[in-house]
Amino acid sequence: MDKAPRLIDPFARAITYLRVSVTDRCDFRCVYCMSENMTFLPKKDLLTLEELDRLCSAFIGLGVEKLRVTGGEPLVRRGIMTFFRAMSRHLESGALKELTLTTNGSQMARFADDLAACGVKRVNISLDTLDEEKFARITRWGRLRQVLNGIDAAQKAGLRVKINTVALKGFNEDELFTLQEWCAGRDMDLTFIEVMPMGDIGNEDRLDQYWSLKDLRARLEERFTVTDLAERSGGPASYVRLHETGQKIGFITPLSHNFCESCNRVRITCTGEIYTCLGQEGKADLRAPLRAHPEDDAPLIEAIQAAIATKPRGHDFDYSRGDVMGRMSRHMSHTGG
Q: Which residues bind ligand SAM (CB under 6 A)?
A: 26, 32-33, 70-71, 73, 102-104, 126, 164, 166, 193, 195-196, 198, 332-333, 337
Decide: is 266 part of the binding site for ligand SF4 (CB under 6 A).
no
Task: Give which of ligand SAM, ligand SF4, none residue 253 binds (C-beta under 5 to 8 Å, depending on kind).
Answer: none
Among 164, 165, 269, 333, binds ligand SF4 (CB under 6 A): 333
Give least dist CB 103 to ligand SAM, A.
5
Task: Give which of ligand SAM, ligand SF4, none residue 193 binds (C-beta under 5 to 8 Å, depending on kind).
Answer: ligand SAM
Q: How far is Cα of residue 74 from the mean position of the Cα atoms in its chain?
A: 11
Q: What angle do CA 187, 224, 147 make, to 5 degrees?
A: 35
Binding to ligand SF4, residues 42-71 (CB under 6 A): 71
The residue count of the chain comes to 337
Phi, psi angles (nearest 5°) of residue 62: -95, 10
Give least dist CB 134 to ligand SF4, A.
14
Task: Give which of ligand SF4, ligand SAM, none residue 195 binds (C-beta under 5 to 8 Å, depending on kind).
Answer: ligand SAM
CA atoms within a 13 Å half-sphere pointing along the CA-CB vector of 204: 24
Task: Give which of ligand SF4, ligand SAM, none residue 29 binds (C-beta under 5 to 8 Å, depending on kind).
Answer: ligand SF4
Q: What angle do CA 337, 306, 281 make, to 5 degrees?
A: 40
Give least dist CB 272 to ligand SAM, A.
18
Task: Return the axis-axis angle of helices 144-156 and 108-117, rounded to nearest 10°.
Answer: 20
Task: Round to whole Å and give the CA distance between 170 and 112.
Answer: 33
Task: Give which of ligand SAM, ligand SF4, none residue 198 binds (C-beta under 5 to 8 Å, depending on kind).
Answer: ligand SAM
Task: Round to whole Å and give the CA distance between 19 and 270.
Answer: 11
- Give the contacts of 158 (CB within 8 A, at least 6 positions apart): 116
Give least dist CB 171 to ligand SAM, A.
12
Binding to ligand SF4, residues 8-47 (CB under 6 A): 26, 28-30, 33-34
Contact pattern for ligand SF4 over residues 90 through 109, marking x by CB under 6 A: --------------x-----
Task: Give which of ligand SAM, ligand SF4, none residue 34 binds (C-beta under 5 to 8 Å, depending on kind).
Answer: ligand SF4
For ligand SAM, give the closer residue by CB, 2 or 39: 39
For ligand SF4, give the closer residue by CB, 201 or 255: 201
Note whether 122 and 100 are within 8 A (CB): yes
For ligand SAM, give the closer residue by CB, 55 or 166: 166
CA atoms within a 13 Å half-sphere pointing along the CA-CB vector of 70: 20
Helix segments in 106-210, DSSP class H? 108-117, 132-139, 144-156, 176-185, 206-209
Other beta carbons within 10 Å of 299: 14
Task: Give which of ligand SAM, ligand SF4, none residue 276 binds (C-beta under 5 to 8 Å, depending on kind).
Answer: none
Decide: is 255 part of the binding site for ligand SF4 (CB under 6 A).
no
Task: Give which of ligand SAM, ligand SF4, none residue 164 binds (C-beta under 5 to 8 Å, depending on kind).
Answer: ligand SAM
Note whether 143 and 137 are within 8 A (CB): no
Tell me the residue type at 9: D
Give least dist CB 29 to ligand SF4, A.
5
Q: What is the SS3 assignment for 110?
A: helix
For ligand SAM, give the closer residue by CB, 58 or 216: 216
Note whether 277 and 312 are within 8 A (CB): yes
Task: Round to whole Å and give the CA distance between 53 and 294.
Answer: 12
- Interaction site with ligand SF4 (CB under 6 A): 26, 28-30, 33-34, 71-73, 104, 126, 333
